[in-house]
Structure 1
Amino acid sequence: MTAIDLNADLGESYGAWTLGDDDAMLAVVSSANVACGFHAGDPTTLLRTCRSAARAAVRIGAQVGYHDLAGFGRRFLDVSPADLTADVIYQMGALDALAQVAGSAIAYVKPHGALYNAIVHHREQARAVVDAVTSYDATLPVLGLPGSVFLEEAERAGLRTVAEAFADRAYTPQGTLVSRSEPGAVLSDPHAVAQRVLTMVTDGTVLAVDGSRIDVRADSICLHGDSPGAVAMANAVSELLRANHIDVTAFV
């Protein structure tokens, strides 16, 4: 049977502010990108999310990002490589401790938001993230955009790389993500998103914003937990995949 990993960004609530329905998403996805407190997530929220993921047998990933709570990690920060490496190590260590208390551990690393997009092309910051992962635990896989300098640097350093595609984000003809500041950058129709994911998995392509069809290589597909209708989209994707004999399982 064909299989694909579905991942979602979780643990992004903060104090009295609730974002998304983590428990509902954990019933669908196979990997959870859990915030590490720098862009979102307070310690109590993160521990609760790790415990819920462990109970659901969902793999926990450290979603590391810029130190930018006010901007939800979606603003580029011109951080020095040394500072960024330290920031990423700090975030991995904090989440790993919470995950271990919950009976699990971090199993991979995925950058968040503006950092994810920056290291598609920003080689110094890409190397800084790679240095952090290799220093902390060189057995941890990293998720990133195919063709990014981040995955290139990770492969060069001997890390396992996992190519990622996005169910609910629009693509440019160059295979990068359309900026969230642009109209239509985030998709919200569950049926359309599910059909899109099925095409990604079975055909290895996706329709770009200009109408061209581009190749996508995906070992894991992201469903954003904070998107409008995230749970409905996740359920629609999961149901359509299973109806087409495609298993949802963590990448191996």
Structure 2
Amino acid sequence: MSLAAAAVTRRFERRGTSHTALENVSLEVLPNTRTALVGESGSGKTTLLRLLLALDRVDSGAVTLDGTAVVPVKAKAMRWFRKRVQYIPQDPATSLDPRRSVLDLVATPLRLLGAEGDHVALATKALAAVGMDDRYLARRPAELSGGQNQRVAIARAVACEPEYLLADEPVSGLDLDLREQVLDVLDELCDRTSTALLIVSHDLSVVARSCREVFVLCDGRIVETGSVASVLTDPQHRHTRDLLDAVPRLPHQRTIDSQEIA
């Protein structure tokens, strides 16, 4: 039982040359776990995320869900997968239709997935779970703050009660208070529903706050993996150390404090 990438390789042709975005990468997200995939911009995080979401095809290797290979096909044929694996985008402003109300934004995917039950009731319940009450249901994205739009994106992802939730830089661009609020929402939802969470990020402070296991990606390869506690307090690869050095801290702090680690 898992969502996994098994020795996947993905190449892209650009102007007659071949670029290898991922090479022989393996990653597994187990049920009821909180995992992080970290790396700098250009490391291959987005490519791997798209493969795990069945939005792109591998050149070799396989993406599997509970041992069954997942290959992108037409939308209707992917409903079984979309009900079980959902996505929280980095920038909800680019993924939320500005013409639709908050309630419609969350209810429409339920209809498209053929979810059982009253879609309006399910959408309202999901919005309430992220702190969006009846006052917000008729509003549109332009009438909401960045943090509120991110809550709508989370509600839309969890409304169908997926088993796996993949979040791409879920608090990027938010101020400190909003970051904590959004991460608290994700923590509470995962605790209550036993949903597995994969956070894709370059920010190790977010990983320390919310995850238990971490995979470090560099130049299309996994270079380090293990528990967050071991990897962040005793990094073995230079790339992991570089990511740690990029975390803002007070002058006397040399590493992420142990109490910061989830």
**Quick check: TM above 0.5?**
no
Give the TM-score normalised by structure 2.
0.36
Which of the pair has more CA radius of gyration?
Answer: 2
